[in-house]
Amino acid sequence: MQAPIQQAPFGTLPNGEQVSIFTLANAKRMTVRILDFGGIITEIHVPDRAGAMQDVALGFDTIDPYRADSPYFGALIGRYGNRIAGGRFTLDGQDYRLPVNNGKNHLHGGIQGFDRVLWQARIEGEELVLAYRSVDGEQGYPGTLDATVRYRLTDDNEIVVRFHAVTDRATPVNLTQHSYFNLAGGGSILDHQLTIDADAFVAIDADLIPYGQLAPVAGTPFDFRSPRAIGERIGEDDEQLRHGGGYDHCYALNKPDAKALTRAARVVEPVSGRVLELFTQEPGVQFYSGNFLDGSLQGKGQVYGYRGGFCLEPQHFPDSPNQPAFPNTILRPGEVYETESRFRFSVEN
């Protein structure tokens, strides 16, 4: 029996708007807490093999760090997850310029992406529903986009994330969920055992922009088709690892059907036995090994050190509006953007 979703105050924005935190709980004692600001998952409490509960999500206790220079901890990302080269693209013969916020590139929707806006929240049974209208021209994007995200926690210890969007003008859309995980509850993630169901990944240049082709994982440090520790080969002398400062790459998932909900990745923390599996309809997953965490951020009684968290961001490929060979990310009027991902937690004995 699912517990009803609980709502409580979390803070106030500079314009006086109130931020709420919503607590989802299931019959197995798992709890997830989510803000209406940025759709941010602030906490994920799951058991280890002995039944001890621990928070496995990186985040903060108060609203101000999320408004400041948070590295997208737990946030919803839009309009476009990942990078767009030079902050520009051409669509239907018209050139568009986007704000650059990652060197000379546009990252995760810009200076004020979907991670830094207040979503309209409502509770529908076991689902937390968040809605946001991104107006024409916001962060340089064409068209008014109406986006909805539904969060649900199941009794199978799954966090289900369902995206829906429609637009009145053609526009790039690539929405994702950007939680950082540490299945040990703290310390380094380099001993976590990772599997990614992908034969290829998106090769990038020194600015983390795709060259435009996929690279095979075979014979490289990017081969996680069978379980390997994240840290096993992260220090190898490899050009792609140098470009990313570690792993910061989009994997092209092995999918028998382009829209099938299939397993993308599995992570095991060997000491606690905690397991995270990601299932998604997306063609790719960005694996990020916490390369830019440096101990300067603190939250929930922890210091977030170098490689103290990892991300598995289900998404389309980076820079797709400028890469015609990549899967399409242009949403047009009359079309519906829909995609689902599931983060399933369990234990391994």
Query: Which residues are CB-contacts of 127 (< 8 A; sequence separation ≥ 6)?
Result: 150, 151, 152
Length of the chain in residues, anyone? 349
| pLDDT recorded at residue 70 | 84
Catalytic residue among 106, 192, 313, 316: 313
Q: 84-118, pLDDT tens digit by residue?
A: 999 999 999 999 999 999 999 999 999 999 999 99
| pLDDT recorded at residue 44 | 98
249 given a catalytic annotation: no
CA-based nearest residue to 82, from 64, 98, 95: 98
- Look-up: residue for tokens 């476009």? 80
313 given a catalytic annotation: yes
Helix (H/G/I), strand (E/B), else coil: 135: coil
pLDDT at 127 over 80: yes
Q: What is the mean pLDDT of residues 251-269?
A: 96
Q: 7-66, pLDDT tens digit by residue?
A: 999 999 999 999 999 999 999 999 999 999 999 999 999 999 999 999 999 999 999 999
Q: 271-288, pLDDT tens digit by residue?
A: 999 999 999 999 999 999
- Look-up: residue for tokens 């490899």? 238
pLDDT at 3 over 90: no
pTM of the model: 0.97
Query: Which residues are CB-contacts of 6 (< 8 A; sequence separation ≥ 6)?
Result: 22, 23, 25
Q: Which helix (H) or strand (E) holds 241?
A: helix 239-244
Q: What is the mean pLDDT of residues 308-326?
A: 98
- Look-up: residue for tokens 């979907």? 114
pLDDT at 1 over 80: no
Catalytic residue among 178, 192, 249, 316: 178
Q: What is the mean pLDDT of residues 315-336?
A: 98
| pLDDT recorded at residue 69 | 78
Distance, C-alpha 6 to centroid of its chain: 24
Q: What is the mean pLDDT of residues 234-248?
A: 98
The C-alpha atoms of residue 101 and residue 106 are separated, in whole angstroms, by 5
| pLDDT recorded at residue 2 | 74
